[in-house]
Every structure is written in C-alpha cells, then in structure tokens.
Chains A and B, each alone.
Chain A
C-alpha cells in the first residue's frame, strides 16, 4: 500500500472523535494550519516508526543469534518491510506507555489546531 498523508489520520492511534474531526476539516484548513498538522502527522508517524523499527531490529538480531534469521544483505530490508506493515496496523495496544503518551500529546496539539482554525 502506498501511504499518503491523509492515511496517517486513519493509522495513528486517535480516538474516533478526533479522527472524524480531522478527516472532516482536513481539506478545508488554511495552508498554515494544514502545514502544522502535516508536520505533526509525519513527525508522530516517523517517531513511532523509528521506535518500532528499533524494536524489530532488536528482535531480529535475537532471532539471528538463535539461528532463526540470516544476517545477510536482506536483513534490514526485511525488518523494514515488517515494520512498515506493522505501522499500517498500528493500534493503541501496540504502544507502551511512553509512546502512547507522546501520541496523545500530538493528538491534543492537532485538536487544538483544528479548534483554533475554526475559531479563526
């Protein structure tokens, strides 16, 4: 699947209320607020991706130590593919406390931005 910016609203662990609000308002946002929201969406996604990638590399290295995974030129490629796949299926349960905390903060920012844009 080819990931698009708007897809992140579906992927990232937002509450349904926030998700719906974001999707409704997204196209009509003024350029400045939209740019802010795009940044938040991608920054959050990238941060979660980096954490998950690191976790998957660690797991794959453990497997490699046990002879269950080959440490060849395909190693990182496979881990990255797996990570991307998992990112598409991201849900709140996957996140530890720290990650969830950050995602929630990002959500708060987004909601505030949207509310602010409505007020203006």
Chain B
C-alpha cells in the first residue's frame, strides 16, 4: 500500500490523487463563482530551503475564499488557466504551422528548431496531435486542446508553462534589443538613465491598455518609446501570424485586465531599456535568430547594433507595419502579468519578484537571483551557477546566453519527468491487449456487441417501417381525398344536369294559351302564379288548360251564395210538401255543383302548385349555392388539407435553418441525401446552434423522423412538378385570404384549394362575380377570365398529384431502407471488426519479436525497403506467393516483407497464409503503412505512398540517419496506433 501512496505522490497532483482538484469559491465582489485549480503548494515551492520567507498574500485581495484553502494549498484561477492554455496553444501552433507549411524554408526551419531546441521538440511531442493521432484524411499536426488541458491538470504543467512563458517573453524583448526590469519599492528600485523608456504601468496606462484591445491601431510602440531607434525596432516586427497562429498571449480577458489594474494601483513601474547585449544574444546566434524569425515573426536581420545600447534600422530596409508591434507589446506585458499572477497565487510577495528572472544579469542590478522560492528556479540557478559558470563580470551577452541555456536544460528535464510520470500512470491503466481480448469476445457469435448491433439494426429497421406505415396511411388518405374531389366534382355536375333536365321537362308541359311555350322558367312561374291569383288568365299544363283559379274560386263562391227561390216554378201554387221537395232538389243540385267546383278547384290548384314547386325545385338544384356547397367541413377534407400543410411546413422549417453553405439543408440535400445523412446534418446543425434541429439522442423520436420524411417528400414533389413549388399567380389570387381595404392585388378571393379541385371554372367564375361588389373582397384582383381560373385549377390538380406521387417515391425509399436494414441484420458478421481485432492483437503480441528482430532491417535494408513490384519477380519466385498475395502483384515487395516482419504471416497455418494476408491487408493496406512509417519516422515524404516512402527509408537506413532505436520507436507507434483503432470498436 506504500506503493500506491508513493505513486499518488509521485504524480504530484493535488490532494494526493495525482490530479488537480476543482473547487468553487465566491470572490469578494460576490459577482461570480470562480472555479480554480487546486494543488499542493509544496510541489511548487521549497518552503524550507530558499533562505527567504515566503509570505502568503493570496486570498483577500483577489477574493479567494481563504478559509476554505489549507495552508499547503494553492489555487490558480480559471482566468489564469485560460491565459496559460492560450499561451501554450499559440506556442505549439506557431511550431506546428512550420511543420505543416508548404514553404520549404519554413519546413527547414522546423527541422532546425527540432534539432537545436530539444525543449520545443519535447513540447510538440507532448502537446500536439500528431499524424498518428488524427483521422486518416488529416495530415497536419496541430496543438491538442485535450493534451494541453491534461498538461495543466498537473503541477508540472504549470511550472513548465511559467518558465516557458518567461523564456519566450525574454526572447521577444531581446530580439527587439530590449530588456525589462520592474521598479518596485524596495531593493530593486533605482534604475534611471537616458536609455530608460518608461512604459508607466499605472492606472491611466492600464485603462488605455485595455482600450487598445478594442482598437489596436490607436496605440503604437513608437509613441511610447519615443526615440528614432525604438521606432525602427518596432517597425521591424512582421505582420500578423498565419492562420491559427499568434505570438503568445493574444487578447487579455476582462478578468485578467482587472488583475492587471490591481497591479498598477499598487504602483509597480516597468521599464524597457535598449540593450546591445540582449540583442546580440539573439542576433549573434543563427539558431536563435532563425527561431525568433520563424516562431515569433521578429526579424532581426533588418537591424544593426551600434553598440552602447543603441540599435538601428539598416539602410534600405522597409518596415512593413507597426500594427503587430502593438500586438507584440501586449504579449510581452501579458506574459509579465501572467507570471506575476502565478506567483501571487503561490503567495509570493511582489516585492520579491523581478520583471523577469534575468534581471540580475543586467548592468547595475543586484547580483542575487529572483527569490521566488520555486524549486525549478533553484534548479535553474544551480545549473547556471555550477555548470554554466554563473554571472561573469563584463560578459553581459554571455551571461544572458548561459542563463537561457540553463533554463532550457532544466525545463527539458522537467518535461522528461512529466512524460515519465504520465507513462507510469499509463502503465497502471488496463493493458490494451486485455481490452482487445474482451472486445473479441464481444464481437463473437453470441457476444454482447453482436447483440447490441442487432438491436441497433432492428431499431433502425423498425423506425423505417414505422415511418413507412405513417406515410402510407397519409398517402392512402390523400389518394382517397383525390378520388373524392374528382367524384365530388362530377357528382355536382350530375345533379346539376339532372335538375336542368327536370326543369326542361316541366317547361315542355307548360303552354301559354295562344302563345305556345314559355320563354323562361321565370315566365312560366309567373304564369303559374298568375293562374292562381289573377282573374281572366289561363295556362296549359301537360295538355290541360287551367283557367284562372281566382275566377273559379269566385264562381264557387257565387254558387255558394245562391239562395233558394221561394216562388214555385211556372207561378203556380205548390203544396208545402212540393215546396220542400223542390227545396231539397235545389239544395242537392247546388251541393253537387259546389262539390264539383271544389273538386276541380282543388285538383287544378294542386296541379298548378305542384308544377310551381317542381319547377322551383329543379331551379334550386341547378343553381345550388356554390359557396355553401364547397366550403366543406368534412373531416376527410380537413385531414387531407392538414397533411399537405405538414409536408410544406416540414420542408419550410428544415430549409429555413440558417447555416453555413456546407451544412445548409436545401432542396438538393433533401432530395439527394438519405434519412440518416439528413439526421446527421441536423444533429451537426444543432451542435452549432442549439436553437436549430435536435440532438442525436432525439433521432429516435418518431415525430422528428416524420418531419424529415415529410420534408423529403415535399422536395420530391417539387421536382415532380413545378406547380408543387410555385402554383402561379392565378392560384394565389384565388386562394389568398380576402382583406377588406387591402391594396389591390394583395388579397384574394378566399377560395380553398379544395374548391379549386371540386368546382367547375364556370361556377367559380359565378361565385367571384357574386362577390365582386362585396367590400370584403376589395383587395382582390378581378381575374379573371375563365382560362385563368382553369390554370389555377390545373395547378391545384398537379400539386395534389405531385404530392401523392412523391409519397409513392418516399414509400419506395423507405421500403428500400427497411430492406437494407433487413439485409444488414441477416448479414451481421463483424468480419471487419474481428479482422482488425485479430491483427491488432497479433501485432501487440509480436511486440517483443518486432523489437528484437529490428537489426534484420538495419542490416538488410534493401530487402525490407524494396520498392519493386511483386510482378517484377521471376514467375518461379512469384509462385512462392499465394494467390491472394498475387492479386496485388503491383504492390512493392517491401510491403510483403514488412507485413511478414510484423506478423510472420508467411509461416502462418491458422489462419492459412493467404487468408491471413487478406486480413492484414484490409487493416493495413500499403498507403496506410506508408503514412504510418512516414509520420512515425519523420521521413517528410510529401505524398506518402509506399513506393515513395520505402526509398527514403532505405536511404536513411543506409546512411544510418535512422537506426534500430528509431525503427523500434516507429514500430511501437504503429502497434499503438493499431491498438487504438481496435479499442475504438468499443464505442
């Protein structure tokens, strides 16, 4: 258990677990919750060995919750971490930009830097993503956000970065022929001569400094330095760095600015002086000169040293810009402030700090080292004093050079130590071989991965099938609607035709006596009504003449009004009996007449009224109220309308998402991409802007899937017929909603698409005519000749047809996807995965053999780097290869030899040689092997095919530029790369 504890300590992190811890503390202003990195303080400081008391000042001024921090704890703010992260990213990017450059001079500079500055070589190795870390199609090396974050999770990362920042800041100043010293109250104060140029770090200047971040052109270094020489130096700094580059700490954040203000308030003065020795420390060393030229973009070639601390711009040189001088100056200031904040967090009083650790080297400064108490500073001082000879009088330039060298050497050691610790940590993690074995079990016939994959594929199939079911239901409903609209239209026509026929038939039975048939149904109706009401008229109905019913009613009344005549017939006398008999006869006769008249009147009245009714009925059927009929609220009609709208809405929604052209989902994408591709694009859009689309986790949501399917359907409809996209002006004029008082043309007649589909053009025209004088439709353009209405109807018809056809296309597409998923389910074999796992495992288990046999390659480079193709061998020799290998007879012979070196495949019995070769070849084809060798051996072949890489490798082996050590490391990289690929199958 002692070892576990020792391991935790060895990793040097906070709280005994090897890692920094995060804790949230509210700052004094209470305006924000700051989280910081907390470490053990004694990992940075030699608390008992500096000879100087370390006074803890951290806490109250910066608002840290001091009470929650132990006495041996240090916390770096997130602001400071951000500054450190940015610094490292920029520094590494400046180096990798050279590596990635197509400019041979920059590539050469990179190689030179890697040879002469092993410190940077180690940093690039440590903090950049190299070719073997990157996807196959990416060859550029780049700074790694993840590795830098991991680096700053360790105390070593903070220490190394601080020292590197100091070194880079000093070099920038030296390259400009400047040196920096702060004038703090205390023993370091007292510098002032005619060369001193005050930056004046006070409140006003700091405010201005902050403002300059917004408008960098306002403030030039020349204005501050104020001498011709200084202006010339400033002007020599090159323009802005290339893409992604920069020169250090680029933009100070607001929180950091506040910290800088705080420093200024306390009266720190920072001076820059021209310094010949500093300039010469760079200018006289070609390696340093090239470094500042290529990495910091400071060109010292344009300057000469007049001696006596005076630097001049050489004749004929034209400075390019002064803008980046401002940038450089900001970097220097920020570098100085960042280190100040680092030491402040450690609790080191400002008065114990110099501007930079080099300050003791300059004229008339105290000859004691800066008292930071940092362990690494003590090591640098020991290195400088013991091995470097320490400070020598009258050798300012030598002192500067030796100090820089001592610092770099110690930094290199710290980086090595960090790497070793990380290695130890790595060894404690599970062995990749063990993981790979487990993965192989998972990918076996009844393994967990197989089950997982089958489940995924089944879910995918079900999702497609479900979408197909939904779409099919919608399609069937739309087809039914289309049929219904067609039938509705004909039904209307039929009933209208029948009514007309019925009316005509009635009209044929009516005659105006003496005048023949009636001219119009209205005339007939008038005549029929007149027969009922008026005297002296008549009409012939179906051959029967009906005289005025009014006259007949009068005649009836007359009969009813008749009175019995008391006078006996012929004037004689009659007996009472006779009289009664005669009365009875009269009454009976009268009654018969009344009855007859009544009967006739009733019959003819009925005839006339029935005829009127029939004619009216026929008229009503013929002139059925169009608007009433077509504004159907039938559920099927409403549903069909909604389905059409859903398609259009889905399309409009997806295509309206504002995205960069490359990720925009447009008509072409909706038509050309698969559902899954579109889902991926939508997920990608969502990561860029979470107001758009949805996250990947929600792809299984059926509504999201249907949104995509409907948009795809709409896109297909738009291609099938132009009317689906744009039904034209006539359609619009008819279907736009009416708006009283709207400008002419901006509103419509309020017809529905359904009306266009179900009514005749003539009837629509009638309807419009009827609305023409209605103020509610004042904004509608009067179309409209019949042809315009017909065109709008055609558009409606094609739109519906196109949508239904598009749904059929989508149905086919979804059916295809279901079949693909079914095929994938039945074909789940994992051969590819199993092959990769097998090959990776075999290479790893061959590791010892690969390392031990490396001399075979060193001693016989020609055999392993033979770039002649297999088919250049004699037929007999080719026969020694299996059929599977001979399928690739154009491959270099070296390829087969290297594969055999790695895997011993030629001797393999299980699997047989040919089968084994096939498996390896799928995992590591020649171009992949070429890239691995090129990157891991740093061969620098621009287009790394094996045919190009092998001769370069041979050349370097023969010249011993590459030996067994480099080869072993390269093969180790390849083995690890394969292991990583295999382990990636776990996700």
Binding site for B on A (CB under 8 A): 2-5, 31-36, 38-40, 42-43, 46-47, 49-51, 54, 57-58, 73, 76-77, 80, 84, 98, 101-102, 105-106, 108-109, 112
Contacts and interface: CB of A to CB of B under 8 A. Distances in A.
B14 interface: no
B433 A35 contact: yes
Contact of B118 (A32, A54, A112): A54
B424 A54 contact: no
A56 B434 CA distance: 39
B335 to A, nearest CB: 27
B298 interface: no
Interface in B814-871: 844-845, 847-848, 851-852, 855
B523 interface: no
A5 B846 CA distance: 12
B412 interface: yes
A42 B851 contact: yes
B887 interface: no
B855 A102 contact: no
A82 B512 CA distance: 137
B964 to A, nearest CB: 7
B424 A105 contact: yes
A50 B417 CA distance: 12
B424 A112 contact: no
Interface string B576-607: 00000000000000000000000000000000
Contacts of B432: 35
Highest count of chain B CB atoms <10 Å: which of A31, A46, A101? A31
Contacts of B437: 32
Highest count of chain A CB atoms <10 Å: which of B3, B428, B844, B851? B851
B848 A38 contact: yes
B428 to A, nearest CB: 7
A61 to B, nearest CB: 9
B427 A42 contact: no
A58 B419 CA distance: 21
Given A32-B431, A38-B847, A108-B6, A80 B963 contact: yes
B416 A50 contact: yes
A109 B965 contact: no
Contacts of B420: 47, 102, 105
B427 A98 contact: no
Given A2-B855, A102-B417, A31 B3 contact: no
Nearest to B847: A38
Nearest to A108: B3
Nearest to B3: A108
Nearest to A26: B848
Contacts of A47: 416, 419-420, 423
The DSSP consensus for interface residues of chain A is helix
Contact of A35 (B428, B431, B960): B431
A105 to B, nearest CB: 5
Contacts of B964: 3
Contacts of B423: 43, 47
A103 to B, nearest CB: 9
A4 B417 contact: no
Given A39-B427, A77-B960, A105-B424, A31 B416 contact: no
A33 B413 CA distance: 30
B848 A5 contact: yes
B416 A5 contact: no
A106 B424 contact: yes
Nearest to B859: A2
B968 A42 contact: yes
Contacts, number: 80
Contacts of A35: 431-433, 844-845, 847
Instruction: Classify chain B's interface size.
Output: 35 or more
Nearest to B405: A58
A42 B845 contact: no
Given A3-B964, A51-B413, 20 more contacts: A4-B852, A31-B433, A32-B437, A35-B432, A35-B844, A36-B431, A38-B848, A42-B968, A47-B416, A51-B416, A73-B959, A77-B960, A98-B417, A101-B10, A101-B417, A102-B420, A105-B10, A105-B421, A105-B424, A112-B3
A80 B967 CA distance: 14
A32 B841 CA distance: 10
Contacts of A31: 433, 845
Nearest to A111: B3
15 contacts: A5-B848, A31-B845, A35-B844, A38-B848, A39-B847, A42-B851, A49-B965, A50-B416, A51-B416, A57-B118, A102-B420, A105-B420, A105-B421, A105-B424, A109-B427
A49 to B, nearest CB: 6
A39 B963 CA distance: 20
B649 interface: no
Nearest to B855: A2
Given A3-B964, A54-B118, A46 B969 contact: yes
B542 to A, nearest CB: 112
B553 interface: no
Nearest to B858: A2
A96 to B, nearest CB: 8
A19 to B, nearest CB: 18
Contacts of B851: 4-5, 38, 42
A77 B434 CA distance: 39
Nearest to B420: A102
Nearest to B849: A5
Nearest to A113: B427
B500 interface: no
Nearest to A105: B424
Contacts of B969: 46
Contacts of A36: 427, 431
A87 B894 CA distance: 31
Contacts of A4: 851-852
B501 to A, nearest CB: 97
A76 B616 CA distance: 117
A36 B961 CA distance: 30
Contacts of B959: 73
9 smallest CB-CB distances across A and B, nearest first, come from A102-B420, A4-B852, A2-B855, A5-B848, A32-B434, A32-B433, A32-B431, A35-B433, A36-B431
Contact of B965 (A39, A57, A84, A106): A84
B496 interface: no
Nearest to A8: B851
B614 interface: no
Interface in B416-471: 416-417, 419-421, 423-424, 427-428, 431-434, 437
B906 interface: no
A109 B431 CA distance: 13
Nearest to B969: A46
Contacts of A77: 960-961
Contacts of A5: 848, 851-852
B972 interface: yes
A120 B757 CA distance: 82
A96 B437 CA distance: 40
Nearest to B435: A32
A98 B424 contact: no
Contacts of B427: 36, 39-40, 43, 109
B960 to A, nearest CB: 5
A77 B956 CA distance: 12
Interface in B930-987: 959-961, 963-965, 968-969, 972
A77 B963 CA distance: 9
Contact of A54 (B6, B412, B434): B412
Contacts of A38: 847-848, 851
A2 B851 CA distance: 11
B912 to A, nearest CB: 23
Contacts of B845: 31, 35
Nearest to A2: B855
Contacts of A58: 409
Highest count of chain A CB atoms <10 Å: which of B419, B433, B959, B965? B965
A57 B114 CA distance: 13
A77 B118 CA distance: 17
A43 B431 CA distance: 15
